[in-house]
Amino acid sequence: MLALCLASSPVRWCTISNEEQEKCQRLKQECFSHQQSKDFPELICVRKTDHQECITAIKNSEADAITLDAGLILEASLNPYYLKPVVAELHPKGSGVTTTSYHAIAVVKKGTISSLEDLKGKRSCHTGFKRSAGWLIPVGTLVSQNLLNWSGTISGPVERAVAGFFQGGCVPGLKGEPQLCRACKTGTCDWNDPFAGYAGAYQCLKSGHGDVAFVNEGVVLADSAVERSKYELLCDDGSRRPVEEYESCYWARVSAHAVVARSVDGRADKIWALLSYALEQIKQKQSRCQLFKSPQDSGKDLLFKDSAVGLIKVPEGADAELYLGPKYCAAIQNLKRERIDQDPDTTERIVWCAVGKAEKTKCDVWSGQSNGAIQCAVAETTEDCLIKIIKREADAITLDGGHIFTAGKCGLVPILSEIPRDEASACVDPKKGVTARGYFAVAVAKKRDTDINWNTLRGKKSCHTGVGRTAGWNIPMGLINDQNNLSCHFGEWLYVHLVAYAFYTTT
């Protein structure tokens, strides 16, 4: 009986407007009702007034899912909510390529604003309060450039400083600063204002209600070439570029909207089952499953962004910070800090990531000898250490060449190289200098096995230092793959006898 109840448990989708509720109900009746499997989750639509109510409802298990902007994803991940992204939107990038990120840009009418300083006293159009491209990134940038008269939360809310910087604006969802609602079409900062969202903020600029719109590239590129030619981008360094050059004139790269769920018992698999079924119906040209289209005259970006073309499952181990990226998270956290000076005794400390108990013991000795200049973090695997560094929970680790390649893909860079003992004098006299040396990756066989060579390795037993290691895996497997065109099916070619982590077959 328990298994049956779990199999049939529904997915409760949280909506924030009557239009979203209607679209949700339409999907329930027209799309998902055709799925006959008893294990397929039922869609239930839960109506709340705004995103914050939905986040609270999901935390309290009164709802299960909602699609959020990156800024709200971060907020929803914090105490006391602890939600996490489980499914990300895919957006077109051109030539059939899709992406899970977009660019936060500032759009102005040609010839009206020539620098960031020129923004003072102008009217601003925002997608919404606490939204990434429309609020967090532009406000965070103005704070970092010392253009806002704001010394941190201790001096009051940052929105008060924004109201003093701009002459007027439209910030849907903002309360308590009526000056930042003057440019809205209704004169109020209601979430249902026609100038809310990406398309709304862009229309706020085009209609003359504002002088600058903080949006993403998608809404501008969707406009006609004739209309686009009337506008230009204001870069974060104060320069200007044509709107088509957004990749070299953006204020930040922002992760796409994502569906969030509870970190524990979040029903992520059921959410994905529901959405992947709809995606399959879309592939089959079934018009009844319109996830990404909003009915005409019913609003924009209902449940999902209208510009989305697909969805992708977020890896289970990824939390909000990994999904959003540490640079984005750090920028947002700057808007929440008191702006007091850092403790000067902590600024020069380096947190070294140790893998396992033995490395941690050695690191602790090093920390003591350094009088605390070195501090130690510990993780079970090298990959876990890389995650700690990406999330700024640690600063450094020594890596094998194979892991250096992986780290590079995650935005990390090598800064120091090991020096062999026979050149240790360079440590005593740094001016002497030393050229970084590598080592040789070799293959060793018993003398009596005279028949073993690169052409006779098929079917032999092999020993490796570990998966992802340079000499023990990347070099030999790369050579074998090149010579034999294996497409990485090494398990069918070698009897891999000893590999760290017991992981030796790639399919």
- Output the DSSP codes for 84-145: EEEEEEEEEEETTEEESEEEEEEEEETTT--SSGGGTTSEEEES-TT-IIIIIHHHHHHHHT
Fold of 11-99+256-334: D-Maltodextrin-Binding Protein; domain 2 (3.40.190)
Of the ranges 70-79, 89-98, 197-206, 498-507, which one carries the lowest mean pLDDT score? 498-507
Q: Which two tokens stand for residue 173?
A: 């969802």
Angle at 324 (CA atoms; ends 334, 412), nearest 5 degrees? 90
pLDDT band at 160 (very low <50, low <70, confident <90, very high): very high
Q: What percent of the chain stands above pLDDT 90?
A: 55
Mean pLDDT of the 197-216 span: 96
Out of 143-147, 387-391, 405-409, least confident range: 405-409
| pLDDT for residue 341 | 44
Q: What is the pLDDT of residues 382-395, one digit of tens each?
A: 989 998 998 888 99
The structural architecture, per CATH, of the domain 101-255 is 3-Layer(aba) Sandwich (3.40)
Lookup: tokens for 88: 């990300």
Distance CA 214, CA 384 (A): 36
Q: What is the pLDDT of residue 260?
A: 98
* Residue 5's pLDDT band (cuts 50, 70, 90): very low
pLDDT category at 434 given cuts 50, 70, 90 is: low
Q: N- to C-terminal Cα distance for the chain?
A: 38
Tokens for 457? 């390795």
Average pLDDT over residues 231-253: 94
How much is the pLDDT for 490? 47
In terms of pLDDT, which residue wins out, 382 or 329? 382
Residue 430, pLDDT score: 62
CB proximity list for 456: less than 8 A, separation 6 or greater = none
Give the pLDDT of residue 500: 34
What CATH number does domain 350-418 carry, 3.30.10.20, 3.40.50.11440, 3.40.190.10, 1.10.10.10?
3.40.190.10
Token look-up 């009051």 returns 156
Residue whose tokens read 């008893």: 38
- Range with the lowest mean pLDDT among 254-268, 464-478, 480-494? 480-494
Residues of the chain with CATH 3.40.190.10: 11-99+256-334, 101-255, 350-418, 439-506
Q: To 5 degrees, how large is the angle CA 199–CA 85–CA 301?
A: 20
Q: What is the 3-state secondary structure (H, E, C) of 36-95?
A: CCCCCCCEEEEECCCHHHHHHHHHCCCCCEEEECHHHHHHHHCCCCCEEEEEEEEEEEEC
In the structure, what pLDDT confidence band is assigned to residue 250 with cuts at 50, 70 and 90?
A: very high
Give Cα 109 distance to the centre of its chain: 30
The pLDDT confidence band at residue 428, using thresholds 50, 70 and 90, is low
Mean pLDDT (whole number) for 477-505: 52
Give, in words, the CATH class of 439-506. Answer: alpha beta
3-state DSSP assignment of residue 402: helix
Q: What confidence tens digit (pLDDT) does each residue in 172-192 have?
A: 999 999 999 999 999 999 999
Q: What is the pLDDT of residue 89?
A: 95
The C-alpha atoms of residue 249 and residue 103 are separated, in whole angstroms, by 9
Tell me: pLDDT of 330 over 80.
Answer: no
Distance CA 172, CA 188 (A): 8
Q: Which residues contact 166 (CB under 8 A, 6 or more apart)?
A: 119, 120, 121, 122, 123, 124, 179, 180
Secondary structure letter of residue 331 according to DSSP:
H
360 CB neighbour count, 10 Å cutoff: 16
Average pLDDT, the chain: 86
- In whole angstroms, give the CA distance from residue 91 to residue 205: 24
pLDDT at 410: 74
Report whether pLDDT(61) > 90.
yes
Q: What is the pLDDT of residue 401?
A: 79
CA–CA distance, 404 with 473 (Å, rounded to integer): 14
pLDDT (tens digit per residue) in 412-424: 889 988 877 776 6
Q: What is the pLDDT of residue 38?
A: 80
State yes or no: pLDDT of 489 exceeds 60: no
Q: Which residue has the higher pLDDT, 270 or 34?
A: 270
